[in-house]
Amino acid sequence: MTSLWIIATLIAAAAQTARNAMQRNLTAMIGTVGATQVRFLFGFPFSLLFLAGVSLATGERVPSVEGAHLAFIAGGAVAQIAGTALMLSAMKERSFALTTAYIKTEPVQTALFGVLLLGETLSTLGTVAVIVATSGVLLTAWKPGTKVEGVGLRAAVFGIAAGGFFALAAVSFRGAITSLPDASFVLRATTVLAWSLGVQSLMLLAWMGLFDRPALTKSLAAWKGSIFAGFMGAFASQFWFIGFALTSAANVRTLALVEVIMAQAVARKLFAQSTTRRDYVGMALIVGGVGLLLVAH
């Protein structure tokens, strides 16, 4: 069980890197709001399939979701929508890999939200791991000559704010998962996933129906690319939530910093963006921080 959260997190990070790359391309076609809702609207049916499959495989009934659980889910749902929209806005301003680096200031923010909302704490070694890994992220982000005004500042603000919202979402979803009635950790995680994607889909459909119908029409017209992006989003979230069910959100999100390294590989292959010596040093710090985190566990 101790190593299962590690496996789940690594699978989620790989799937999320693929989904982010897909959403980045969709943004140019259907706009930021349209690309934001793809992971939710097109991911929701897959989450229901996951829930049915887990319930059948375990022989358990789906746990009931009530007031306190819904509060956590709704808070996480809103925060994740905001984080996704800010992430895609940042990607329009700066490179794919650099935006991912800004967002990955998230573990520090996750640790703080975990203390404030759930009363969770990290061990001394775990705290050091978060700091070392996050330092590596910042090293890859802030390169010599990086401007801190205009477009550069806007991208940094969007990216770091996105990380903050993702941190709040992670802690909220963990709160929902751990507060559900007795059931296996997989079923609790999958239940919260289905509810969260359902809430997010309804919210975005209502918003776009009222204020941005062209984006809704475009996103539905681009269903071929959107279906796979939705599947990858639901698939990644399934494993994020399994991780949240087994350990603190801060641990999961710190290990998830390996996504920065994955993003560098994607940026080089798909977007023809180069990797510098500074990037390699930053990635070495990320790997070192992740290694410390694993030693702590």
Q: What is the pLDDT along the chain (297 residues), one digit of tens a residue?
A: 568 999 999 999 888 877 776 766 677 677 767 777 777 888 999 999 999 999 999 999 999 888 888 999 999 999 988 887 788 777 776 566 567 667 777 888 888 888 888 888 777 887 888 888 778 777 766 655 555 444 466 777 888 889 899 999 999 999 999 999 889 999 999 999 999 999 999 988 888 888 878 878 877 887 777 888 889 889 999 999 999 999 988 889 888 877 766 666 665 655 555 556 777 777 777 777 777 776 765
Would you state the structure tokens that stand for residue 248, as one six-digit string?
């603190």
Residue 54 one-letter amino acid: V
pLDDT in tens, 58-74: 999 999 888 888 999 99
- Can you give the pTM of this predicted structure? 0.80
According to the model, what pLDDT value does residue 170 have?
A: 93
Which of 185, 266, 194 is closest to 14 using CA atoms?
266
- Give the model's pLDDT for residue 253: 85
CA–centroid distance for 99 within its chain: 13
Query: Domain coordinates of the chain in residue numbers?
Result: 4-296
Q: What are the structure tokens assigned to 173, written together?
A: 């979803």
Residue 64 has a CB neighbour count (10 Å cut-off) of 9
pLDDT at 275: 59
pLDDT at 141: 62
Helices (H), the chain: 4-41, 44-58, 67-93, 96-103, 106-113, 124-141, 151-179, 185-211, 213-221, 223-246, 249-255, 258-270, 277-296
Are the CB atoms for 219 and 209 separated by under 8 Å?
A: no
pLDDT of residue 186: 96
Q: How far apart are CA 53 and CA 146, in angstroms?
A: 48
pLDDT at 199: 94
Q: Tell which residue, 157, 147, 119, 106, has the closest CA to residue 260.
A: 106
Please tell me the distance from the alpha carbon of residue 225 to that of residue 24, in angstroms, as a whole number: 12
Interval 191-206: pLDDT, tens: 999 999 999 999 888 8
pLDDT score for 288: 77
pLDDT of residue 265: 66
Residue 150: per-residue pLDDT: 47
